[in-house]
């Protein structure tokens, strides 16, 4: 017994239990994260190109629309697909099944996003329409995988409920996306204002927002090492968020739009207040108090979520502020969703890389690297400063209608995105590095 | 034996046991990390009784210098043996 245990300990990898687990092989999630890293750089470069049209952007084809979709489809949804396919099976205890489908999604989705966005930028509606069909097909497959995972999920009912709400929102987003692409291609079907209203609300707050809120109930307590959030307020927050979406959806269909949009923003604020109470409680009571820059970004993102709802109210009441709609877009997409994602991603990537390096270790090469050994502090510090400065400058540029300031923000954002790419590349390189033999590896303490 | 949010703990001939089945995530992760931090650099193996493969636990263990070995458990159970890297693999009853 002693010999057997000792013999095993010299060869046993640190994560042997992963054999046959619900984790996908590393190339699946990391190809989505890698593509997101590239689209992130592309988004800031597209902003530089489209700087003149950005401060007063009010929809329509052009480079500001490319920026919007590079971020939403290329970065946010791309990462959400990779993260949810990896994390939801862990939460629901149901496997994704064949890995061919997640791989097929990536091969369909990635060129589809590029083609859609470039069609938007250049006015090539055929490319736009073809890209949109590929994107909708890929997201349709993703929706089917997500639904199959959520059906019969065991445990974490609040997270599962958020998953269903995100899925229902995705269906609306896809339908409205096809309607918009059809209109650009000369085949309008529905009233454009209605379609855009539904598309914006259900893409930002519905699909992306509900995934962000739901996955936060797993990720934030996990990184803070705190107890699971109280269920009752989490359910109340979920119910209020769904109510807000339904009210905003009805308003987009032109039923008492001012009253319903006001009620939607109020319900959204109440939902967010409960959610943030649970999240800050987790951070305050957790065993890990110092979560570094990643959670500073998460806190900034939460502040921007609240700000986005206040700006939505200002839009409802036609507040006399120039560029208000563009400011709303900057705050909801850049301030909340993108900042939140980048904060979380810089924690998830080293964690997943460490787990997957552990799988490599099953071949008997020794201990895998720790998550902290797979991160890269300097690129993340550069990204942190550049990202926040770029967003602040972008908001200012919109407020004062300055294309020059937009270009400066885009340059800063590009530098930050490249630094984030350096962090990601370092994690991938170190994950594949041969490991030190067990028993001789230096393992940092906590 | 200590039930509740920290799971059930007991000591046996093969190590210090913790049963985290039934805890809502991330309760199992938190309970296991709290236990191994309370042990510190001790040589006591920890036997975890879990109902799922705790994939998110492994990075936390790696950071703290602990290895994991999957061992036989009851049907439907995921049983893990955790050891501090460099510690002696034996455990005499009463040591922990």
Peptide bond connecting A284 to the previous residue in cis, omega within 30 degrees of 0: no
Q: Is the pLDDT reported for residue A434 higher than 70?
A: no
Confidence of residue A417 (pLDDT cuts 50, 70, 90): very high
Residue A103 neighbours by CB under 8 Å, 6+ apart: A28, A31
Q: Is the pLDDT reported for residue A414 higher than 50?
A: yes
Residue A136 neighbours by CB under 8 Å, 6+ apart: A174, A177, A178
* Facing B55 at nearest CB: one of A18, A226, A438: A18
User: Residues A220-269: pLDDT tens digits?
Assistant: 999 999 988 999 999 999 999 999 999 999 999 988 899 999 999 999 99
Mutant choice from B28, B67, B69, B72 vs A, greatest count of A C-beta within 10 A: B67
- In terms of Cα–Cα distance, which of A154, A248, A169, A261 is closest to A212? A169
Mutant choice from A3, A4, A5, A224 vs B, greatest count of B C-beta within 10 A: A5
Record the tokens describing residue B4, joined without a space. 């509740």
The average pLDDT across B59-87 equals: 86
**A21:B55 CB<8 A:** yes
From residue A386, give the alpha-carbon distance in Å to each of A43, A67, A68, A148, A363: 15, 18, 19, 40, 41
pLDDT, position A412: 98
Q: Is the pLDDT reported for residue A394 higher than 90?
A: yes
The average pLDDT across A77-102 equals: 82
Residue A69 neighbours by CB under 8 Å, 6+ apart: A113, A116, A117, A120
Confidence of residue A358 (pLDDT cuts 50, 70, 90): low
pLDDT, position A258: 93
**Residues in A touching B61 (Cβ below 8 Å):** 14
Element (H, E) at A99: none
Q: Is the pLDDT reported for residue B49 higher than 50?
A: yes
Confidence of residue A88 (pLDDT cuts 50, 70, 90): confident
User: Residues A334-354: pLDDT tens digits?
Assistant: 999 999 999 999 999 998 888
pLDDT, position A22: 60
| Percent of chain A whose pLDDT exceeds 70 | 89
Confidence of residue A152 (pLDDT cuts 50, 70, 90): confident
pLDDT, position A442: 35
What is residue A176's three-state secondary structure?
helix
Chains A–B, number of C-beta pairs less than 8 Å apart: 121
Q: Is the pLDDT reported for residue A383 higher than 70?
A: yes
What are the φ and ψ backbone dihedral angles of A14, each rounded to 5 degrees? -75, -25
C-alpha–C-alpha distance, residues A66 and B56, integer Å: 36
On whether the CB atoms of residues A87 and A153 are closer than 8 A, the answer is no
Record the tokens describing residue A267, joined without a space. 């319900």
- In terms of Cα–Cα distance, which of A351, A342, A348, A357 is closest to A25? A357
User: Residues A175-185: pLDDT tens digits?
Assistant: 999 898 888 87
Mutant choice from B22, B33, B62 vs A, greatest count of A C-beta within 10 A: B62
C-alpha–C-alpha distance, residues B35 and A208, integer Å: 36
Q: What domains are defined for chain A?
A: 2-432 (1.20.210.10)
- DSSP calls for A183-196: HHTT---S-HHHHH
pLDDT, position A100: 87
Radius of gyration of chain B (CA): 12
Q: Is the pLDDT reported for residue A365 higher than 50?
A: no
* Facing A21 at nearest CB: one of B53, B67, B90: B53
C-alpha–C-alpha distance, residues A404 and A425, integer Å: 31
Nearest CA in chain A to B92: A2
Record the tokens describing residue A164, joined without a space. 């269903």
The mean pLDDT of chain A is: 87
**B83:A9 CB<8 A:** yes
**Residue A223 CB neighbours (<10 A):** 23
User: Residues B12-42: pLDDT tens digits?
Assistant: 888 899 999 988 888 899 999 999 888 876 6
What are the φ and ψ backbone dihedral angles of A65, each rounded to 5 degrees? -70, -30
Record the tokens describing residue A310, joined without a space. 């206040």
**Residue A3 CB neighbours (<10 A):** 8
**Residue A318 CB neighbours (<10 A):** 9
pLDDT, position A367: 60
C-alpha–C-alpha distance, residues A285 and A301, integer Å: 20
Record the tokens describing residue B35, joined without a space. 């236990």
Q: Tell me, what's the ipTM?
A: 0.79
Confidence of residue A289 (pLDDT cuts 50, 70, 90): confident
Q: Are strands B46-50 and B15-19 parallel, antiparallel or unpaired?
A: parallel
- DSSP calls for B3-47: -STT-EEEEETTEEEEE-TTPPTTHHHHHHHHHHHHHTT----EE
On whether the CB atoms of residues A141 and A100 are closer than 8 A, the answer is no
What are the φ and ψ backbone dihedral angles of A184, each rounded to 5 degrees? -65, -30
On whether the CB atoms of residues A146 and A84 are closer than 8 A, the answer is yes
pLDDT, position B88: 53
**A12:B67 CB<8 A:** yes
The mean pLDDT of chain B is: 80
On whether the CB atoms of residues A339 and A297 are closer than 8 A, the answer is yes
Nearest CA in chain B to A366: B67
* Global confidence as pTM: 0.88
**Residues in B touching A14 (Cβ below 8 Å):** 58, 61-62, 66-68
- DSSP calls for A260-286: HHHHHHHHHHHHHHHHHHHHHHHHHHS
Q: Is the pLDDT reported for residue A281 higher than 60?
A: yes
Q: What is the DSSP letter of A62?
A: S
């Amino acid at each position: 017994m002693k010999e057997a245990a000792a013999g095993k300990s010299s060869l046993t990898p640190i994560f042997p239990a992963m054999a046959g687990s619900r984790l996908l092989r590393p190339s699946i999630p990391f190809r989505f994260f890698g593509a997101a890293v590239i689209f992130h750089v592309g988004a800031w470069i597209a902003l530089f190109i489209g700087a003149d049209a950005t401060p007063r952007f009010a929809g329509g084809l052009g480079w500001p629309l490319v920026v919007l979709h590079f971020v939403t489809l290329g970065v946010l949804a791309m990462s959400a697909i990779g993260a949810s396919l990896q994390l939801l099976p862990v939460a629901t205890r149901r496997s994704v099944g064949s890995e061919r489908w997640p791989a097929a999604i990536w091969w369909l989705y990635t060129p589809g996003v590029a083609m859609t966005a470039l069609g938007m930028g250049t006015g090539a509606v055929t490319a736009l329409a073809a890209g949109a069909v590929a994107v909708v097909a890929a997201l349709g497959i993703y929706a089917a995988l997500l639904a199959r995972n959520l059906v019969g999920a065991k445990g974490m009912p609040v997270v599962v409920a958020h998953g269903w709400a995100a899925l229902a929102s995705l269906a609306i987003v896809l339908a409205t996306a096809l309607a918009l692409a059809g209109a650009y291609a000369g085949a309008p079907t529905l009233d454009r204002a209605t379609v855009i209203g539904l598309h914006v609300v259900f893409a930002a707050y519905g699909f992306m927002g509900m995934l962000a809120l739901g996955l936060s109930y797993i990720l934030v307590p996990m990184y803070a090492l705190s107890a699971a959030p109280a269920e009752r307020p989490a359910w109340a927050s979920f119910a209020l968020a769904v109510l807000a979406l339904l009210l905003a959806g009805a308003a987009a269909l032109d039923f008492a739009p001012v009253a319903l949009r006001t009620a939607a923003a109020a319900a959204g604020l109440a939902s967010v207040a409960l959610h943030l109470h649970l999240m800050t409680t987790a951070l305050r009571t957790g065993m890990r108090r110092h979560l570094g820059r990643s959670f500073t970004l998460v806190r900034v993102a939460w502040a921007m979520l609240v700000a986005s709802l206040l700006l939505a109210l200002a839009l409802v009441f036609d507040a006399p502020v120039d560029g208000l709609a563009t400011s709303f877009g900057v705050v909801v997409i850049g301030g909340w969703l993108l900042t939140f994602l980048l904060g979380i991603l810089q924690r998830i990537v080293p964690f997943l890389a460490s787990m997957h390096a552990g799988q490599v270790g099953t071949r008997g090469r020794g201990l895998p690297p720790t998550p902290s050994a797979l991160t890269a502090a300097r690129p993340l510090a550069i990204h942190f400063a550049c990202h926040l400065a770029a967003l602040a400058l972008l908001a200012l540029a919109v407020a004062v209608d300055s294309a020059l300031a937009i270009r400066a923000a885009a340059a800063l954002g590009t530098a930050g995105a490249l630094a984030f790419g350096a962090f990601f590349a370092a994690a991938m390189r170190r994950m594949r590095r041969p490991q030190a033999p067990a028993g001789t590896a230096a393992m940092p303490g906590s | 034996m200590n039930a509740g949010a920290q799971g059930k703990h007991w000591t046996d001939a093969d190590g210090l046991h913790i049963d985290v089945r039934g805890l809502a995530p991330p309760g199992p992760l938190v309970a296991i990390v709290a236990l191994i931090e309370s042990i510190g650099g001790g040589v006591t193996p920890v036997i975890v009784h879990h109902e799922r493969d705790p994939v998110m636990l492994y990075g936390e263990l790696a950071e703290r210098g602990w290895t994991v070995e999957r061992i036989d458990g009851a049907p439907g159970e995921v049983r893990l043996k955790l050891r501090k890297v460099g510690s002696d693999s034996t455990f005499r009853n009463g040591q922990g």
